[in-house]
């Protein structure tokens, strides 16, 4: 008798709701606020991120503004690690380095404090969504410029049809929910 692999549906996946035409017509927005409202769903997400991250022995967790903070900070706290924010340009008060990345129309820039990571630090980068991979790659470049090593990326969701994983082809990536 052949074994059948059944994909487990996460609590978080059942809670994400679709919002049509937000923020503009033609976009189907994946609203994660119900996940944030559910302690059970958040525990499930953080536990999965810990399972992925723990064997990699990271020295710090890097979270990308803003929803990467929501998942990255509890991960860092649970693992007893420093949390490092990657923010939009002009939002950090100390000396920073910055990286630009492409958007559908134009560019955006993220930054990190120059003393946030030490050479040789092992890093997990966290965000809520992997879409095109532009923001994740910019965060990766920031970490590498400071001498850190990327041990992996964790995302709540991946929009597979945007092929963001291609930008992270040589990286270990965990996306809990894959949207085709």
- Domains in the chain, CATH or no CATH each: 56-179 (3.40.50.2020)
Confidence check: pLDDT of 63 > 70: yes
Q: How far apart are CA 32 and CA 40, in angstroms?
A: 14
**Active-site option among 67, 78, 145, 160:** 67
**How large is the average pLDDT for residues 33-56?**
98
- By residue count, the chain amounts to 180
Identify whether 17 is a catalytic site residue. Answer: no
3-class state of residue 165 by DSSP? helix
Question: For the segment 111-136, what is each residue's pLDDT rounded down to a tens digit?
Answer: 999 999 999 999 999 999 999 999 99
Tell me the pairing of strands 60-64 and 83-88.
parallel
**Active-site option among 2, 8, 104, 180:** 104
Short-list 99, 112, 140, 119, CA closest to 59? 119
Identify whether 67 is a catalytic site residue. Answer: yes
Tell me the pairing of strands 106-113 and 83-88.
antiparallel
Predicted TM-score (pTM) of the model is 0.94
């Amino acid at each position: 008798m052949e074994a059948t692999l059944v994909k487990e549906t996460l609590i978080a996946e059942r809670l994400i709701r679709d919002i049509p035409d937000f923020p503009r017509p033609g976009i189907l927005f994946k609203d994660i606020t119900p996940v944030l409202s559910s302690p059970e769903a958040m525990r499930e997400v953080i536990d999965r991120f810990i399972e992925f991250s723990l064997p990699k022995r990271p020295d710090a967790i890097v979270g990308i503004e803003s929803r990467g903070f929501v998942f990255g900070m509890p991960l860092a706290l649970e693992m007893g690690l420093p949390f490092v924010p990657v923010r939009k340009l002009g939002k950090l008060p100390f000396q920073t380095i910055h990286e630009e990345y492409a958007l559908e129309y134009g560019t955006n820039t993220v930054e990190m404090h120059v003393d946030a990571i030490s050479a040789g630090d092992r890093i997990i980068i966290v965000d809520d969504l992997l879409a095109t991979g532009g923001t994740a790659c910019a965060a990766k470049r920031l970490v590498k410029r400071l001498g850190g090593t990327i041990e992996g990326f964790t995302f709540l969701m991946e929009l597979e049809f945007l092929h963001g994983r291609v930008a992270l082809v040589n990286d270990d990536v965990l996306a809990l929910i894959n949207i085709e």
